[in-house]
Amino acid sequence: MAADTGRLTGTPPAVRVRDLYRDFGPGRTVLRGLDLDVAPGEFVALIGRSGTGKSTLLRALAGLDRDVAGHGEVTVPDSVSVVFQDSRLLPWKRILPNVVFGSRAPDAVVRGERALAEVGLAGRERAWPHELSGGEQQRASLARSLVRQPELLLADEPFGALDALTRIRMHALLRRLCETHRPAVLLVTHDVDEAIVLADRVILLDDGVVHTDVRVELPHRSPADPAFAELRAYLLDRLGVHDEDVPAGRRAAA
C-alpha cells in the first residue's frame, strides 16, 4: 500500500499534471503544486474532503478553467468526456437528444437508446429533464458519456444520487465500458468502498496536493475480504475519519 507514482510502463501517461496551482482569490488557493500521472487505460479514483478541489482539478483537466488564476502544466488526450457533478442536461432537449447530443456516430440514436436502457431509463427517451428524478437525471448524464468513446473519462461523483442496487448496476456498466474501450478514468467519489471496488489506484486530495496515492491490488474486491477492510480503514484514516467519530448509540430512551 505504498504510494505509487503511476508511471509503470514506458508509454507516456494519458494525463500528466505538474506543479498545478489554482487560486480563487486571496486565501482561496485550492491547488498548490499538484502532480499527477494517469497511465492510458488506468482507472483512478479521486477522494477527498468536500471543498478540497476535486472538481477544480477535473475542470483543469477538462480545459474548463481558462479564467481561473494559477499556473502549472497539464497534458491530456485529445478526446475527453466529462460527467459533471450536476447532471447538466440541456433543459430544452428531451432525454434521448440530450444523450446523443454532440455524438457524430451514424448510429448515434441506436447507441443512445441502448445506453438509456443500460442505465435503466428505457421508455423515458422522450421525457424532459425536469420530469426525471434526481437519480434518473444522473443516470441520463452517465448515459451521455457511455455513447462516446473517449481516451479520458472524467467523472465527478456520477453515482452520488443512486441507491445501493442501482449503484452496483452502474458500477458494472462502467466496468464493462472500461474493459471494452480502456479509457483512462479519473472518478471523483465520496464513497471509499466504491473507490476500492472500481479503481486501480485511489488518490486522496488534501491541502491542494495528492496527499495519498495507493494502488488497489486485491484478489477479491469484496467488502468481506479482510484486505479490503484494511485498505478501507487506511483510506478512511487518511481522510480523517477516526474511531472516535463513529457514532455511538443515541437517544437510547426515545
Partner 1 sequence: MTAAVDTRVVRRRLGPGRRIRLAFWVGPVLLLAVWALGSAFGVISPAILTAPWDVLTAFRDQWVEHDLLGNVLASLARAGLGLAFGALAGTVLAVVSGLSRWGESLIDGPIQIKRSVPTLALIPLFIAWFGIGQEMKVVTIALISMIPIYVNTHNGLRGIDGRYAELAETLAIGRGEFVRHVVLPGALPGFLLGLRFAVTSSLLGLVVVEQYNATSGVGHMMTLAEQYGQTDVLVVGLVIYGVFGFLADATVRLTERKVLTWRRTLDG
Residues in contact with Mg ion by the rule CB under 5 A:
55, 85, 133-134
Contact map string, positions 56 to 95, toward its own copies, x by CB under 8 A = -----------------------------xx---------
Q: Is 79 one of the binding residues for partner 1 (CB under 8 A)? A: yes
Q: What angle do CA 101, 105, 106 make, to 5 degrees?
A: 110
Instruction: Identify the residue among 165, 180, 226, 253 touching its own copies (CB under 8 A).
Output: 165
Which cell numbers hold the place of 3? 504510494
Pairing assessment for the beta strands 201-206 and 209-215 based on DSSP bridges: antiparallel
**Which residue, 36, 157, 5, is CA-closest to 87?**
157
Q: Which does 53 bind (CB under 5 to 8 A by kind): ligand ATP, Mg ion, partner 1, none?
A: ligand ATP
Long-range contacts of 173-181 (CB under 8 A, 24+ apart): 173/118, 173/119, 173/142, 173/146, 174/142, 174/198, 177/146, 178/41, 178/43, 181/149
The smaller minimum CB distance to its own copies, of residues 150 and 160, is found at 160
Give the range of 49-57, 72-80, 106-114, 157-165 binding partner 1 by CB under 8 A: 72-80
DSSP 212-231: EEEE---SS--TTSHHHHHH
Is residue 81 close enough to count as binding partner 1 by CB under 8 A? Answer: yes
H-state helical runs in 82-130:
95-100, 108-118
Tell how far CA 171 is from the center of its chain.
Answer: 11
> Terminal CA-to-CA distance of the chain, rounded, Å?
44
Residue 218 interacting partner from partner 1, ligand ATP, its own copies, none (CB closer than 5 to 8 Å by kind): its own copies
Q: 234 is in the binding site of which of ligand ATP, its own copies, partner 1, none (Cβ under 5 to 8 A by kind)? A: none
Q: Is 160 in the site for its own copies (CB under 8 A)?
A: yes
Q: Least CB distance from residue 150 to partner 1, whole Å?
A: 9
Where along the sequence are the contacts to partner 1 (CB under 8 A)? 18-19, 21, 60-67, 70-76, 79-82, 84, 86, 88, 90-93, 101-103, 128-130
